[in-house]
């Protein structure tokens, strides 16, 4: 019982909605409507850092960046099947152009299919990997909307891989390794896998293809040395799904990345490539999102770290506090030196007692608070107050701190250009 109560207390302390307000990261203005967030400057910076690192890793893995509009004529989602199987989760249509129905997109995949279909493809081009940070809109019921973890407008780090049947096993294997490595880079490392199979009612295709796709996902999952659990009937209407389930710092499980194997949409859109035999063949399509959505992943990280994000993701990495006003020139010099070294740093003038300014910086969960006084001005040193329970360090040479901070602030280094 005591452990359960402690976990409840921790969950409340880590609630991303509370932290988002306290740390001035995001808000949900009532003028926008339920489930629609705006990110404030600090939250926007964190998002950019998350997204920029993801972009760099996708470049290393050989993805091509694409972009697609937010709305489309109904015809696209009629062909894909979303209007048959997913309409209850889509916003109502807009009628334009003398009665033409347009929909806000709930998925990016049909747009990427159109890019593939825009010209004739050869087997020599495959696999083709398309990546987009694409914003989608889903009409979630008001009762299930919850902070950033369940919203109506979200940005997915969406990618689709078009490959041959022969390439499929290796593509799935390398993709799952990429997924797990990327999640580890953000500090999540306790995983198991879940395999979602054919729904009982809402599905398209034939049993044989579903069985082949499900077995392919099962085989790649078994090769990862992680626990695998079955989610009977939890697949999408067009194919089975393999999802990465991650446990956070207090043991809660979050569904993170998903990989879906799809034989159906290439058929519905008539996708083809010319094989080595000069005949036309149908490609296999792999859907995947690593964050799931940027908003939800942001919330998971915020709760996992209780707001104290790793230094490379912290919007302000250090704050310089002069003890008195006559120390402010040196404080500005320290700030310039840290900024020139590539660190995100600010200064707070000595208009309040030092203790109050330190407490405020601690509440903002800054990685470092640097205090400068008489001895620091004379010796070109700083007093270092780090996060956590570590005692403050006095008289640290400025150059030594800059070198240490630069190393800590560097994004994860993984991967080589593809």
**pLDDT of the residue at 1:** 65
Mean pLDDT over residues 12-41, rounded?
Answer: 95
Whether the Cβ atoms of residue 161 and residue 286 lie closer than 8 Å to each other: yes
Mean pLDDT over residues 144-154, rounded?
Answer: 94
Q: Is the pLDDT of residue 418 over 90?
A: no
Contacts of 177 (CB under 8 A, 6+ apart): 224
**Residues 314, 91: Cα–Cα separation, whole Å:** 35
**pLDDT of the residue at 200:** 86
Residues labelled as active-site residues: 109, 138, 156, 158, 160, 241, 287
Q: How many helices (H) and strands (E) does the chain have?
A: 14, 20
Mean pLDDT over residues 352-357, rounded?
Answer: 95
Long-range contacts of 355-363 (CB under 8 A, 24+ apart): 357/321, 358/321, 358/385, 361/319, 361/321, 361/385, 362/387, 363/22
User: Angle, to 10 degrees, between the axis of helix 168-185 and the axis of helix 41-60?
Assistant: 140
Percentage above 90 pLDDT, the chain = 84
Q: Is the pLDDT of residue 155 over 90?
A: yes
Q: Is the pLDDT of residue 416 over 60?
A: no
Q: What is the pLDDT of residues 358-395, one digit of tens each?
A: 999 999 999 999 999 999 999 999 999 999 878 899 99
Cα-to-chain-centroid distance, residue 181: 13
Q: Is the pLDDT of residue 409 over 70?
A: yes
**Residues 418, 57: Cα–Cα separation, whole Å:** 10
Among the residue ranges 166-175, 197-206, 265-274, the one predicted with the least confidence is 197-206
Provide the CATH number for the domain formed by 311-409 in this structure.
Answer: 3.40.50.800
**Residues 174, 181: Cα–Cα separation, whole Å:** 11
Q: Is the pLDDT of residue 183 over 80?
A: yes
Q: What is the pLDDT of residues 300-345, one digit of tens each?
A: 999 999 999 999 999 999 999 999 999 999 999 999 999 999 999 9
- Provide the residue ranges of all domains of the chain, joining segments of one domain with +: 11-67+114-304, 311-409
Q: Is the pLDDT of residue 417 over 70?
A: no
Q: What is the pLDDT of residues 90-106, one digit of tens each?
A: 999 999 988 899 999 99
Q: Is the pLDDT of residue 153 over 90?
A: yes
- CA neighbor of 197 nearest in space, from 173, 214, 172, 209: 214
**pLDDT of the residue at 109:** 94
Mean pLDDT over residues 220-238, rounded?
Answer: 90
Q: What is the pLDDT of residues 102-111, one digit of tens each?
A: 999 999 999 9
**pLDDT of the residue at 157:** 93
Provide the CATH number for the domain formed by 11-67+114-304 in this structure.
Answer: 3.30.930.10
**pLDDT of the residue at 8:** 66
Q: pLDDT averaged over the chain?
A: 93
pTM of the model: 0.92
Q: What is the pLDDT of residues 250-288, one digit of tens each?
A: 889 999 999 999 888 999 999 999 999 999 999 999 999
């Amino acid at each position: 019982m005591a452990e359960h109560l402690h976990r409840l207390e921790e969950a409340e302390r880590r609630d991303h909605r509370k932290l988002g307000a306290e740390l001035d990261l995001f808000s949900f203005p009532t003028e926008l409507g339920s489930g629609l967030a705006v990110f404030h400057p600090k939250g926007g910076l964190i998002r950019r850092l998350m997204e920029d690192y993801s972009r760099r890793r996708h470049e290393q893995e050989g993805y091509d960046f694409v972009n697609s509009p937010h709305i489309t004529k109904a015809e696209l989602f009629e062909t894909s099947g979303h209007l048959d199987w997913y309409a209850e989760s889509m916003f109502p249509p807009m009628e334009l152009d003398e009665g033409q129905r347009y929909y806000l997109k709930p998925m990016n995949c049909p747009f990427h299919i159109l890019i593939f279909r825009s010209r004739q493809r050869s087997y020599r081009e495959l696999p083709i990997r398309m990546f987009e940070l694409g914003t989608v809109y889903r009409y979630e019921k008001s009762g299930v909307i919850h902070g950033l973890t369940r919203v109506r407008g979200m940005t997915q780090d969406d990618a689709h891989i078009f490959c041959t049947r022969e390439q499929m096993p290796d593509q799935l294997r390398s993709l799952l390794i990429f997924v797990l490595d990327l999640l580890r880079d953000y500090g999540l490392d306790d995983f198991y896998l879940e395999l979602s199979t054919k729904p009982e009612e809402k599905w398209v295709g034939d049993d044989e293809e579903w069985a082949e796709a499900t077995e392919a996902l099962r085989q790649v999952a078994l090769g990862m040395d992680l626990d695998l659990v079955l989610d009977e009937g939890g697949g999408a209407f067009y194919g089975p799904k393999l999802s990465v389930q991650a446990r956070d710092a207090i043991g809660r499980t979050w569904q993170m990345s998903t990989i879906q194997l799809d034989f159906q949409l290439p058929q519905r859109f008539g996708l083809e490539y010319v094989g080595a035999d000069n005949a036309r063949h149908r490609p296999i399509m792999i859907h995947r999102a690593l964050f799931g959505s940027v908003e939800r992943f942001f919330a998971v990280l915020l709760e996992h770290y209780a707001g104290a994000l790793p230094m490379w993701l912290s919007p302000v990495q250090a704050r310089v506090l002069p003890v008195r006003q006559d120390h402010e020139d040196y404080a500005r010099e320290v700030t310039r030196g840290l900024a020139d070294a590539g660190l995100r740093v600010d200064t707070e003038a000595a208009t309040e007692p030092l203790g109050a300014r330190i407490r405020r910086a601690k509440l903002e969960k800054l990685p470092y608070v640097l205090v400068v006084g008489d001895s620091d001005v004379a010796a070109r040193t700083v007093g270092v107050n780090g996060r956590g329970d570590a005692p403050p360090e006095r008289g640290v040479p400025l150059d030594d701190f800059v070198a240490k901070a630069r190393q800590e602030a560097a994004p994860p280094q993984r991967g080589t250009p593809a």
